[in-house]
Amino acid sequence: MKKLFFILCFAFLISEFNVPEAKAMDPVTIAILAPYALPVAEAAGKHAFKGLMAGVPALADMGTSLLSIFLLPVGFLECTVGMPFGFFGSGLSNIWDGGIAPFKFAYSTLKWPVQSISGAF
């Protein structure tokens, strides 16, 4: 039974898999369609740039909230080691900000495509 299992596994591994064939376009077709495609690409490029610029504030929010995640270990360090030196209050504040940061990051991540698409038009 063990030999049969290994033979079947080996046969499966060396069997011929269905490899998709490449289907290329004719270069003449590309040359014919290029004059029609360029104006469409230029018009779409303007909208794409507007959408990119509209999404930049959400990307900035994502970056700041991603960096705010590092406030969590800093806050724990301030609450434990810095407590005798009066850093307990700022440590609690940093723990709070660092604990909320992943949720702010998730919200900014979900907000980014919406802002980009709505700003493109």
Give the per-residue SS3 of the chain: CHHHHHHHHHHHHHCCCCCCCCCCCCHHHHHHHHHHHHHHHHHHHHHHHHHHHHHHHHHHHHHHHHHHCCHHHHHHHHHHCCHHHCCHHHHHHHHHHHHHHHHHHHHHHHHHHHHHHHHCC
Residues of the chain above pLDDT 90, percent = 44
Provide the residue ranges of all domains of the chain, joining segments of one domain with +: 50-121
pLDDT tops 70 at residue 17: no
Longest dimension (CA), the chain: 78
Residue 7 predicted with pLDDT over 90:
no
The Cα angle at residue 64 between residues 63 and 66, in degrees rounded to 5: 65
pTM of the model: 0.64
Q: For residue 51, what pLDDT is reported?
A: 87
**Each residue's pLDDT tens digit, 21-64:** 777 767 777 778 888 888 998 888 888 888 889 889 999 999 99
Question: Per-residue pLDDT averaged across 76-99, rounded?
Answer: 93
Once rounded to an integer, what is the mean pLDDT over residues 61-84?
93
